[in-house]
């Protein structure tokens, strides 16, 4: 059987670990991006499994220009969801449809994998 003393020690340790976790989480805030600076990675959450998109891989390793994906009329890069909503219409396709068309066509052109699990994590 567990004594009261052992139970109190276990509860104290749980509280100490929780407090340590909270302090560590608060101490290391995410980096603040400067104006015009792109995030290194973006996590796209969806029903088919999250997609971790790395800007640096596509720009530095593959030489993809920003305008290849961000088709804006001005020099600003917008978040895809600012134009492409969750459900699309005849004029603007849904976010999922536009990303699939953009990404899959580029992967096919460059002989890269188009298997769902190559982008979507289970």
Domain harbouring 57, CATH code: 3.90.10.10
* Model pLDDT for residues 13-45, shown as the tens digit of each residue: 999 999 999 998 888 766 666 666 666 777 877
Within this chain, do residues 52 and 20 fall inside the same structural domain, yes or no? Answer: no
Q: Is residue 15 part of a domain?
A: yes
Question: Is the pTM of the predicted complex or chain greater than 0.85?
Answer: no
Q: Is residue 89 part of a domain?
A: yes
Kindly give the parts of the chain with pLDDT less than 70. 1, 29-39, 72-77
SS3 content of the chain, % helix, strand, coil (to 5): 45, 5, 45
Q: Is residue 36 part of a domain?
A: no
Start-to-end Cα distance in the chain: 41
């Amino acid at each position: 059987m567990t004594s009261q003393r052992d139970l109190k020690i276990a509860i104290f340790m749980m509280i100490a670990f929780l407090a340590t976790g909270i302090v560590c989480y608060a101490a290391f805030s995410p980096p603040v991006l400067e104006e015009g600076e792109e995030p290194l990675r973006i996590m796209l959450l969806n029903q088919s499994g999250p997609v971790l998109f790395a800007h640096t891989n596509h720009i530095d390793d593959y030489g993809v220009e920003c305008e290849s994906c961000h088709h804006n009329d001005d020099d600003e890069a917008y978040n895809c969801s600012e134009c492409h909503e969750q459900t699309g219409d005849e004029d603007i396709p849904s976010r999922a449809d536009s990303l699939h068309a953009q990404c899959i066509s580029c992967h096919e052109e460059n002989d890269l994998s188009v298997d769902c699990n190559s982008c979507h994590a289970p």
